[in-house]
Amino acid sequence: EVPAMKDRYEDSFPIGAAVEPYQLEGTHGEILKRHYNSIVAENVMKPVNIQPEEGEFNFEEADKIVAFAEEHDMDLRFHTLIWHSQVPNWFFLDKEGNEMIDETDPAKRADNKELLLNRLETHIKTIVERYADEVDAWDVVNETIDPNASNDRGLRESKWYQITGTDYIKTAFETTRKYAGEDAKLFINDFNTEVEPKRTHLYNLVKDLLEQGVPIDGVGHQAHIQLDWPTIEETKESINMFAGLGLENQITELDVSLYGWPPTPAFANYEEIVESGRLYDQAERYDQLFELYRELDDKITNVTFWGIADDHTWLDDRAEDYNDGVGKDAPFVFDPDFNVKPAYWEMMGYD
């Protein structure tokens, strides 16, 4: 039996995995218990899953993950209280059922904003009151930055933004703090946080919010990365930038795709991947990455993979979408049969 990842990194940070509830059992469950000491829901804690209709909360699936974390003494990350994606549209309809973003009358726009922020507060309050004792880190808002936005601050022009400006972010953090308490760790989470101009947009937003007294404890770096993008140097600079604001950094959704963007051409199956030799390039990448994480371990408080083993990864959907339905990715350190890959030995720091 190979050494457990969580033991190797005991003195640095917890090692986490994103899971669907079915993965709490069987071989996935065994690997989880052996190698990981932190857990997050891949989907079941998102707004559309938790409150599909206004006032109808569905905690059944989320509860299973919370119970597993408790039973096995794992840290728990909550993902995600607020996001523009996987959010039900009822949030953004006014009392007559019209899209709030279409409203032109200033008085009605003000009413709509109030209604939306009230709904946001109710959503957060209900969840946080239920899980405050179990959750260690909250992704309060996800993906608020969009470098392609038409505003010069790079603020994502989601419905949240169009209706409330940045007040939804402020209210989300304040509400989470109110119900989760002072010890809770509140995160702003995003992807491509390593690269310009996105990281500077995020930095400026967070700095501005902190100056306004908004309770943010850390930045979540999704780290959906590729074999040679972004650079290790960019990654290091980004973590140091946010640490310079007095914030924690967590790596929240790590996966190392074998492809560039878009993921094409893609290998059709895992056999082709093995034959290509690309798993050794990936191992090299994991080596550099975890060497950096170890170097910065006083600034990084969690490293979570966006899955467990190569049998289940959201990147397969993307590989399929861009390659006429035939494509496979392999981003993790365990292969589809749960055996360790070259990447495992390198992330463990054994040469």
Catalytic residue numbers, as ranges:
253
Question: Shortest distance, CB of residue 313 to ligand XIL, whole angstroms?
Answer: 8
* 43 lies in the site for ligand XIL, by CB under 6 A: yes
Question: Shortest distance, CB of residue 155 to ligand XIL, whole angstroms?
Answer: 17
* 222 lies in the site for ligand XIL, by CB under 6 A: yes
Cα–Cα nearest to 6, from 323, 306, 305: 305
At position 296, the amino acid (one-letter code) is: L
Question: Shortest distance, CB of residue 47 to ligand XIL, whole angstroms?
Answer: 11
Q: What residues have CB less than 8 Å from 156, skipping those under 6 apart?
A: 84, 143, 144, 145, 146, 149
Report d(CA 332, CA 344) in Å as an integer: 8
* 345 lies in the site for ligand XIL, by CB under 6 A: no
* 42 lies in the site for ligand XIL, by CB under 6 A: yes
Report d(CA 282, CA 164) in Å as an integer: 42
* Residue closest to ligand XIL (Cβ): 314
Contact predicate 199/169, CB 8 Å: no
Residues 144-163 that bind ligand XIL (CB under 6 A): none
Question: Shortest distance, CB of residue 189 to ligand XIL, whole angstroms?
Answer: 6
Q: Of 59 and 314, which CB lies nearer to ligand XIL in the complex structure?
A: 314
Question: In the set 179, 314, 322, 345, which binds ligand XIL (CB under 6 A)?
Answer: 314
Q: Of 173 and 191, which CB lies nearer to ligand XIL in the complex structure?
A: 191
Cα–Cα nearest to 315, from 302, 330, 304, 303: 330
Cα dihedral sign, 256-260-262-265? negative
What is the binding site for ligand XIL (CB under 6 A)?
A: 42-43, 142, 222, 253, 314
